[in-house]
Structure 1
Amino acid sequence: MIRFLLGLVVGAGSSGVAWAVTQNGLVTAVIGVCAAVLVWFGQLLLDDPF
């Protein structure tokens, strides 16, 4: 559950930064979703012990 909430926070934060820089909805959505998915599946990708 912690990883899911952290993914939501990181995804929203990165989307906010992307929107402030680009003002492009597609780029904002792609960056936000990619950041959230990388946090959610980071344990599988990095073999994290947590």
Structure 2
Amino acid sequence: MARFLIGLLLGAAAAGITWAASHHGSWALIAAIVVAVLVWFGEFILDDLL
């Protein structure tokens, strides 16, 4: 549950930063989704890489 909440918070932060820099909602949405998914599945991705 903690990883889910951290993913949501970091995804929202990434979206906010992206929107502030570019003012494009679609880029902000993509950044939020990418960051959230990487946080949620990062442990599995790192296990496969290492």
Question: What amino acid is aligned across from residue 26 of structure 2 in structure 1?
Answer: L
Residue 13 of structure 1: aligned partner? 13
The aligned amino acid for 1:38 is L
Q: Which has the higher helix share?
A: 2
Task: Please report the TM-score for the alignment, with normalisation by the length of structure 1.
Answer: 0.90
**TM-score using structure 2 length:** 0.90
For 1:40 and 1:8, the matched residues in 2 are separated by: 9
Q: Distance in 2 between matches of 1:10 and 1:17?
A: 10
Which portions of structure 1, spanning 4 or more consecutive aligned residues, are displaced by more than 3 angstroms? Answer: none
Paired residues, number: 47
1:1-50 matched pairs, under 5 angstroms:
1-47=1-47
Q: What is the distance in 2 between the residues matched to 1:2 and 1:42?
A: 13
Unaligned runs of 5+ in 1: none
What letter matches 1:23 in structure 2?
Answer: H
Distance 1:31 1:21 in 2: 12
Instruction: Please provide the CA RMSD for this pair.
Output: 0.5
